[in-house]
């Protein structure tokens, strides 16, 4: 079975019918993974025997007459999500052997549904970034073009066909940009839809757990499984009484797509063209297009970084060499903290912690942090206004093509890649990246953003209109 040409539904069906056992499927997947991993640096850990055991358990379930909906489906899990069997590396050399006592809720639910965890995927320094360039394990290579970054290793795992699903975190856009750079689909869900239990968030306000897959159709197969109330994440309380989905059939005049004209001004012409073409395709597909104003993207990006760095400073304070990481031998407590933390946090994580401490200090709280909170609210309102007139909104996912693995570029340049993703994170609304076209043999993705709990509409529209990266 060629996973790249199969949907999740078809693959699980094949396992149900006994055309292939979960065990066979996973053995094959593991072999492919280790081969591909050498060149692409996708995985930090491969599950090996554990994956085989999981697969055997799925086969046993099927023998017992059960029909697990994701029977034998290979899943990659980003290494900031805990899976109690494998180490949870968090993007820090200090955690390479850290076995978490918890397993992330989303991973748990996929496994209950018969999916098999294949391994943990690479990520930036303490999960902070959308490129994997700051990873202590080195960057993940883009499967489309060596020499470029994949953006996210989970997207690379899916794009190469070694895994059919990837569970990934997304704060400022890592999941969405990864999907864009690798030509696959990636969903960042509405705030509170998917439990974040077991996710080491560097930025709690914006970190969400999402799914990357070949297509919107495949994501649709798992969305319900991972959605819903979980007492271990207070934010999911919005789903306690069930989820009121916004559903509209694709391709009808009922759906109005917002087109933020000025937003595309930041793009290079060849990228810009892709979105103009996408607009045309939507119009031809029978959607109503409405030009809307989204004037706060830049401010939103800045506010995102102020808040994200403030929270990272605090969220990562626990990694101080006492409870986590190695306790450095030092003469004083202060020195011990300094030396231990230097071992745990890499350059990018240290930079963000220091900036965060600065932004929250007495003198700067009002000047930066409080202002950022105000912008957050303004951005939220701006998106709400858009959705008063539109059903969904199209935006780029990344500002440029995947970055080169070679050559130093400034960190500010890297952060500015989140221009289209970070403001959506502030809005709290769901966003789906789908392939939109190609430039220089590299895929370019588009974000479809919708009002809260419009994931099913986004997936339906995305499945119907995306040009797949396969």
Partner 1 sequence: MKYEVVIGLEVHVEMLTGSKLFCSCPNRFVAEPNVNTCPVCLGFPGALPQLNREALQQALRAAVALNCKVALYSYFDRKNYFYPDMPKGYQISQHYIPLGSNGFLDIEDEKGELKQVGIGRVHIEEDAGKLLHEAGGASGGSSMVDYNRAGGPLIEIVSEPDLRSSGEARRYLEKLKSIMQYAGVSDCKMEEGSLRCDANVSLRIPGDQSFGIKTELKNMNSFRAVEKSLDHDIKRQARILDSGEKVVTQTLRWDEDRQETIVMRGKLEAGDYRCFADPELAPIELTAEEVELARQNLPEMAAERARRFVEQYGLPEYDAGVLTASRCLADYFESCLEHFNKPKEVSNWVMGEFSAHLNNAGLEADQASFTPEDMVELLKMIDEQVISGKIAKEVLEKAFVSGKKPRLVVEEEGLLQISDQSELEAIIDRVISENPDTVESYRGGKGKALGHLVGQVMKATRGKANPQLVNELLVKKINS
Neighbours of 216 (CB within 10 A): 27
Based on the shown chain and the rule CB under 8 A, indicate whether residue 371 belongs to the binding site for partner 1: no
**CA distances (Å), origin 52, targets 110, 116, 163, 178:** 16, 8, 15, 28
Q: How far apart are CA 318 and CA 297, in angstroms?
A: 32
Candidates 1, 20, 85, 102; binder of partner 1 (CB under 8 A) is: 102
- From the list 80-88, 262-270, 382-390, 436-444, the region that binds partner 1 by CB under 8 A is 80-88
**CA distances (Å), origin 132, targets 84, 108, 128, 158, 420:** 23, 25, 9, 16, 18
Based on the shown chain and the rule CB under 8 A, indicate whether residue 427 belongs to the binding site for partner 1: no
Choice between 53 and 320, CB closer to partner 1: 320
Candidates 35, 146, 234, 283; binder of partner 1 (CB under 8 A) is: 234
Site string for partner 1, 237-256 (x = CB under 8 A): x-------------------
Based on the shown chain and the rule CB under 8 A, indicate whether residue 190 belongs to the binding site for partner 1: no
Q: How far apart are CA 98 and CA 79, in angstroms?
A: 11
Based on the shown chain and the rule CB under 8 A, indicate whether residue 400 belongs to the binding site for partner 1: no
Q: How far apart are CA 170 and CA 185, in angstroms?
A: 14
Based on the shown chain and the rule CB under 8 A, indicate whether residue 354 belongs to the binding site for partner 1: no
Choice between 291 and 335, CB closer to partner 1: 335
The owner of tokens 């709400």 is 384
Candidates 12, 36, 76, 81; binder of partner 1 (CB under 8 A) is: 81
Candidates 232, 240, 298, 374; binder of partner 1 (CB under 8 A) is: 232
Based on the shown chain and the rule CB under 8 A, indicate whether residue 146 belongs to the binding site for partner 1: no
Three-state secondary-structure class, residue 431? strand
Choice between 196 and 456, CB closer to partner 1: 196
Candidates 313, 355, 383, 420; binder of partner 1 (CB under 8 A) is: 313
Candidates 229, 266, 337, 411; binder of partner 1 (CB under 8 A) is: 337
- From the list 15-23, 151-159, 318-326, 445-453, the region that binds partner 1 by CB under 8 A is 318-326
Candidates 320, 339, 351, 468; binder of partner 1 (CB under 8 A) is: 320
Q: Which of 58, 69, 66 is nearest to 117 (CA)?
A: 58
Query: Does residue 131 contact residue 399 with C-beta atoms inside 8 Å?
Result: no
Minimal distance, residue 294 CB to partner 1, in Å: 25
On the 0-12 / 13-18 / 19+ scale of CB atoms within 10 A, 39 is exposed
Q: How far apart are CA 420 and CA 239, in angstroms?
A: 27
Choice between 16 and 324, CB closer to partner 1: 324
On the 0-12 / 13-18 / 19+ scale of CB atoms within 10 A, 184 is buried
DSSP letter string, 156-204:
HHHHTTS-SEEEEEESSSHHHHHHHHHT-EEEEPPTTTB--TTB--SST
- From the list 26-34, 140-148, 249-257, 353-361, the region that binds partner 1 by CB under 8 A is 353-361
Candidates 60, 252, 262, 361; binder of partner 1 (CB under 8 A) is: 361
- From the list 32-40, 98-106, 215-223, 411-419, the region that binds partner 1 by CB under 8 A is 98-106
Q: Which of residues 271-310 bind partner 1 (CB under 8 A)?
A: 310
**CA distances (Å), origin 27, targets 20, 54, 223, 242:** 11, 11, 26, 38
Based on the shown chain and the rule CB under 8 A, indicate whether residue 196 belongs to the binding site for partner 1: yes
Three-state secondary-structure class, residue 312? helix
On the 0-12 / 13-18 / 19+ scale of CB atoms within 10 A, 404 is middle
Give me the residues that bind partner 1 (CB under 8 A), please. 80-82, 88, 90, 100-102, 104, 196-200, 203-205, 231-235, 237, 310-311, 313-314, 316-320, 322-324, 333, 337, 357, 360-362, 365, 369
């Amino acid at each position: 079975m060629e996973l790249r040409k199969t949907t999740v539904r078809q693959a699980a069906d094949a396992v149900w019918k006994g055309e292939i056992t979960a065990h066979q499927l996973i053995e094959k997947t593991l072999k492919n993974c280790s081969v591909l991993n050498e060149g692409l640096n996708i995985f930090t850990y491969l599950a090996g025997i554990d994956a085989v055991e999981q697969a055997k358990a799925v086969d046993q379930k099927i023998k017992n007459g059960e029909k697990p909906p994701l029977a034998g489906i290979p899943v990659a899990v980003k290494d900031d999500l805990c899976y109690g069997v494998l180490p949870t590396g968090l993007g820090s050399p200090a955690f390479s052997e850290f076995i978490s006592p918890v397993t992330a809720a989303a991973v748990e639910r996929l496994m209950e549904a018969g999916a098999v965890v294949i391994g943990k995927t690479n990520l930036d320094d303490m999960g902070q970034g959308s490129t994997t360039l700051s990873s202590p394990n080195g960057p993940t290579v883009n499967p489309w073009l060596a020499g470029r970054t994949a953006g996210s290793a989970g997207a690379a795992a899916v794009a190469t066909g070694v895994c059919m699903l990837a569970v990934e975190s997304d704060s400022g856009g890592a999941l969405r940009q990864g999907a864009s750079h690798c030509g696959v689909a990636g969903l960042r869900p509405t705030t509170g839809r998917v439990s974040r239990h077991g996710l080491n968030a560097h930025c709690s306000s914006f970190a969400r757990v999402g799914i990357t897959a070949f297509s919107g159709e495949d994501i649709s197969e798992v969305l319900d499984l991972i959605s819903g109330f979980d007492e271990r994440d207070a934010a999911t309380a919005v789903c306690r009484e069930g989820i009121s989905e916004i559903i509209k059939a694709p391709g009808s005049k009922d759906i109005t797509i917002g087109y933020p004209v000025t937003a595309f001004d930041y793009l290079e012409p060849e990228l810009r063209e892709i979105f103009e073409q996408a607009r045309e395709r939507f119009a031809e597909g029978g959607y109503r297009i409405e030009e809307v104003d989204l004037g706060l993207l830049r401010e939103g990006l800045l506010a995102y970084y102020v808040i994200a760095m403030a929270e990272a400073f605090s969220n990562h304070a626990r990694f101080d060499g006492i409870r986590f990481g190695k306790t450095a031998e030092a003469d004083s407590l202060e020195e011990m903290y300094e030396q231990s933390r230097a071992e745990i946090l890499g350059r990018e994580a240290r930079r963000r912690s220091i900036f965060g401490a600065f932004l929250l200090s007495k003198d700067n709280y009002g000047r930066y942090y409080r202002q950022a909170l105000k912008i957050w609210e303004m951005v939220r309102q701006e998106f709400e206004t858009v959705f008063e007139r539109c059903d969904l909104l199209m935006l780029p996912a990344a500002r440029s093509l995947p970055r080169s693995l070679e050559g130093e570029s400034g960190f500010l340049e890297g952060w500015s890649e989140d221009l289209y993703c970070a403001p959506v994170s502030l809005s709290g609304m769901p966003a789906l990246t789908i392939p939109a076209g190609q430039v220089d043999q590299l895929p370019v993705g588009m974000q479809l953003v919708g009002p809260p709990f419009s994931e099913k509409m986004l997936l339906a529209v995305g499945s119907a209109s995306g040009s797949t990266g396969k």
